[in-house]
A and B are shown apart, each in its own frame.
Chain A
Amino acid sequence: MDIVIIGNGAAGMNAALDVRKRHPDWSITLISEESDHFFSRTALMWIHSGQLSHADTEPLERDVYARLNFRRVRARATGLDTTAKKVLLAGGLEPVPYDRLLVACGSRPRPTPFWSGYGELAGVGHFVTHQDLAWYEKEVHGGPSLAGGPPNAEAHLAATTEDSPYQFRPVAAEKRGRLAKEVAVIGGGLIGIEAVEVAHAAGLHPHFLIREEWFWPMALSKAESTWIAARMAEHGVQVHLEHEIEGLNGADGLVTGVKTNRGDIPADCVVIAIGVVPNTEWLGDAVERDKFGGIVVDEGLRTSAEGVFAAGDCASVRWFNGVQRPEQLWYTARDQGKLAACALMGDAVTYKRGSFYNSAKLFDIEWTQAGLVGFDLEDQEETYLEEQGAVRSTIRVVHRRGEVIGFNLLGRRYDHTVLIRWINERRSPDWVLEHLHEASFDTEFVPALSIAQGGR
């Protein structure tokens, strides 16, 4: 049996591990353009700041490919021949035949509506791939940390295409002969704030350009977001709200600033972080894709092509509310990858995602979300509380007809599984607020949650 997996990210690698566990003798090939090793994309920011080395972000020891007999192809897949069952490769490499194929090719930066032309202006890039990281490190620090870059960083250049997201971006700092001083980050989401944070960690005062009325309206209310923005400002970040980007300015092939509806912002390094889209154009119409570009899969993670499955950021699955779209999270990629392994091995499987949840750290403020927040459902109400004691925190409970449906919590750590249980148990907002401390996951010696009565 020839198993081929495109992508050695969370989805692809977890699938490969599980297939190998049951079938020591199957041939497993991992095709990856971006990197030799499976790494945590979520950790790019810590590599940039120097908090982690590349090896630190790799969950498996590097000998795993040899130890588990995974064949590794470091090249770009350029298409599928679903009749002959072959993966086509760039660089004139032999196509790779498969009996069963898993496409786990992840996301790429969302195409920029206001700008195109990486070749023309140096100093513009994203923060999604290893190659983006290498570019951004060169702009801000002059190169990787003392721990070095990833091994064989350029191995894929012999077999890639121009439009690949794994291309290296031209570095303005090198042409200018001076490191970036004024970084501008465009786009107010999680990747944006991480790009801002690492520029700040390098001692800069980055510009943060946000189109909306407040930072990250997808996840935060205005009050919550105002707190985060104030925290960023305290750290010297220049937050610009309601700035619509119109284009980029440049001179002599170097970026010099960002054009906005409220005037120009000077910048010598611009990180565009306006979201990600499924990394799937190279598939053409070999498999059915949704309007976001996601590969449409059924609940068995099967695509429209025989023997071809998809998992992770690139797969479009059915959500709890019936919408067909990708889930772009680490744990969903891992779980889909593990389920895809079963599917590749011929098991009947059903992918079903429970309630949504996520957590993050926005600068030093902890954030946990669970259930339905920001969906603006009919009859929806919210209870919002602020804790201003020894610990500063905010609590937003979303409820509907007396039943809690979602939580958005800042400033403390919570166990999302308890929150989700309460949602499933249809608890009332009052009950939940009274018991909220039971969901606490704060570290030891953090003062217990104290919500001022009457603050509602």
Chain B
Amino acid sequence: MYAQGQDGLMNTYRSPWRNRTPRTYALSATIIGFYCLLYFTDVLEPVAQAVKLQNKWYLYGALYCVFMTIGGIYMLRTHGNSRYHKLRITVNILVQIVLGFTLPFVMPFFGGKEFYWSYFWPLKYDYFFPDTLWGLPWYMALYTLLGSLVLTPVLALAFGKRWYCSWVCGCGALANTFGDPWRHMTSSSTASWRFEKYSIHAVLLFILGLTGIMLVDGFGGKQIGWFHELAGQTKWVYGFFVGSVLSGVIGTGVYPVLGPRIWCRNFCPMAAILGITQKAGRFRIAVKPDMCISCGNCTTYCEMGIDVRAYAQQNESFTRASCVGCGMCAHVCPRGVLKLENGALELNTDKAASGQLSIDF
């Protein structure tokens, strides 16, 4: 019935699969159930063996790649007339299939170590734990240290956090492919923004603390019985609540009803660090003055719940820590008001005749 193609209008709110309906709640419950089975039980092991995969994690990796690729094709059918999306989603899919799935799972066959070249501390939080580091070949250990401490901040200063969150990261890749049909479910309310500010920095403090504890533990703390026990428990708590529940079960499970970036926006410690770096860097969203018609497409389709329209109405170019640079606001804007930039230079614009007007929302 509904025409939907690259240059058509989206029929989002007319589709029962893209609103809060019994269907999407059921889908959400199904995804949550799946992640619970995956993380907390072994019922997927026989399934994995039945399809000749070593264990449930290989099965999960394969399923992830399938859903991401199908979602990516669907995403590009809707938004592929944007060259930014075309390139970005293609890179996302390739990075995940090659670096996120094939390499880590193939390397052990050749006697190598299972290693994720596209994940860094603090997202892959144990890569800074001494036990993990000592267990890696020197070049991998060096890569992971340099990746977190040098590569990540340098690229984020130059291009914004998007280089990771929207091009490389596996959580972002799933969100922007399989999760893309629900990006408008993200809340842009003031309340959701207040929550995000506290929650994401709370997780960041948690992982900084935990990493410190693990380092002390690795460099001698182990000898002290109670400390070693404390370290082990803290690690378990983080792994359970943040590593499994928030990033997997909740993060992916609520895609259909709360949007695909719940984890990225509210909890991911990597996003917190990248966001702070981004604020100091060159990335920004440039606003063409006095052209916005306040339609709300940008704010609605921003998966991070940023009220882009408010900036556009105030003629204010901006850099928000949470912006993952997905480019959707610029793509859906019907008046071409927005543009993602890595420029250090001031936008070459004059204030229009209206002078220095601004609105406080």
Binding site for B on A (CB under 8 A): 10, 14, 17, 21, 40, 42-43, 45-46, 49-53, 56-61, 141, 145-147, 197-198, 200-203, 235, 330-331, 334-335, 338, 352-355, 357, 359-361, 363-364, 366, 368, 413-418, 420-421, 438, 441-446
Q: Is the CB of B353 within 8 A of A353?
A: yes
Known: A56-B300, A359-B291, A443-B327. A420 touches B350 (CB 8 A): yes
Q: Is the CB of A445 within 8 A of B348?
A: no
Known: A40-B294, A43-B296, A354-B353. A445 touches B309 (CB 8 A): no
User: Which partner residue on chain B sits nearest A330 by CB separation?
Assistant: B293
Q: Is the CB of A338 within 8 A of B357?
A: yes
Q: List 21 contacting pairs A-B, 8 Å CB cutoff, sorted by A.
A: A40-B293, A42-B295, A46-B297, A50-B11, A51-B10, A51-B11, A56-B300, A146-B19, A201-B9, A202-B1, A235-B8, A338-B357, A354-B352, A414-B336, A417-B288, A417-B289, A418-B349, A443-B82, A443-B327, A443-B331, A444-B84
Q: Is the CB of B295 within 8 A of A46?
A: yes
Is B157 on the interface with A (CB-CB < 8 A)?
A: no
For B82, the chain A residues whose CB sits under 8 A away are: 443
Which 5 pairs across A and B sit closest by C-beta, in order of nearness?
A354-B353, A50-B14, A364-B7, A413-B336, A145-B13
Q: Is the CB of A443 within 8 A of B334?
A: no
Q: Is the CB of B296 within 8 A of A56?
A: yes
Is B201 on the interface with A (CB-CB < 8 A)?
A: no
For B138, the chain A residues whose CB sits under 8 A away are: none
| Nearest Cβ on chain B to A230's Cβ, whole angstroms | 14
Known: A17-B360, A40-B296, A360-B334. A45 touches B339 (CB 8 A): no
| Nearest Cβ on chain B to A94's Cβ, whole angstroms | 32
Binding site for A on B (CB under 8 A): 1-3, 6-16, 19, 21, 81-84, 87, 184, 189-190, 288-297, 299-300, 309-310, 313, 327, 330-331, 334-336, 339-340, 347-354, 357, 359-361
Q: Is the CB of B359 within 8 A of A51?
A: no
For A52, the chain B residues whose CB sits under 8 A away are: 12-13, 295-297, 300
For A361, the chain B residues whose CB sits under 8 A away are: 334-336
Q: Is the CB of A416 within 8 A of B288?
A: yes
Q: Is the CB of B310 within 8 A of A445?
A: no
Q: Is the CB of B294 within 8 A of A330?
A: yes
Q: Is the CB of A49 within 8 A of B354?
A: no
Q: When chains A and B are docked, how far (Å) is the Cα of A108 from the Cα of B6?
A: 33
Known: A59-B361, A360-B334. A331 touches B290 (CB 8 A): yes
For B290, the chain A residues whose CB sits under 8 A away are: 331, 335
User: Which partner residue on chain B sits nearest A51 by CB separation?
Assistant: B10
| Contact partner, B352, options A46, A49, A364, A417, Cβ 8 Å | A417
| Contact partner, B288, options A10, A201, A415, Cβ 8 Å | A415
User: Which partner residue on chain A sits nearest B340 by CB separation?
Assistant: A444
User: Which partner residue on chain B sits nearest A329 by CB separation?
Assistant: B293
Q: When chains A and B are docked, how far (Å) is the Cα of A352 from the Cα of B352?
A: 11
Q: Is the CB of A359 within 8 A of B84?
A: no
Q: Is the CB of A443 within 8 A of B330?
A: yes
Q: When chains A and B are docked, how far (Å) is the Cα of A51 from the Cα of B7?
A: 13
| Contact partner, A17, options B1, B10, B292, B359, Cβ 8 Å | B359
| Nearest Cβ on chain B to A47's Cβ, whole angstroms | 8
Known: A335-B357, A413-B336, A444-B327. A198 touches B9 (CB 8 A): yes
For A366, the chain B residues whose CB sits under 8 A away are: 336
For B21, the chain A residues whose CB sits under 8 A away are: 146
Give the interface centre of B7, B14, B81 by most chain A CB atoms within 10 Å. B14
Q: Is the CB of A51 within 8 A of B354?
A: no
Q: When chains A and B are docked, how far (Å) is the Cα of A357 from the Cα of B353?
A: 11
Q: When chains A and B are docked, how far (Å) is the Cα of A45 from the Cα of B313?
A: 20
Known: A14-B359, A417-B349. A141 touches B309 (CB 8 A): no
Known: A43-B295, A51-B12, A59-B313. A417 touches B350 (CB 8 A): yes
For A354, the chain B residues whose CB sits under 8 A away are: 352-354
For A443, the chain B residues whose CB sits under 8 A away are: 82-84, 327, 330-331, 339-340
Q: A40-B293, A56-B300, A441-B336 are in contact. List 16 more A-B contacts (CB 8 A).
A: A43-B297, A57-B296, A146-B19, A201-B3, A331-B292, A331-B354, A334-B294, A338-B357, A359-B336, A360-B335, A366-B336, A413-B336, A417-B289, A417-B352, A442-B339, A443-B331
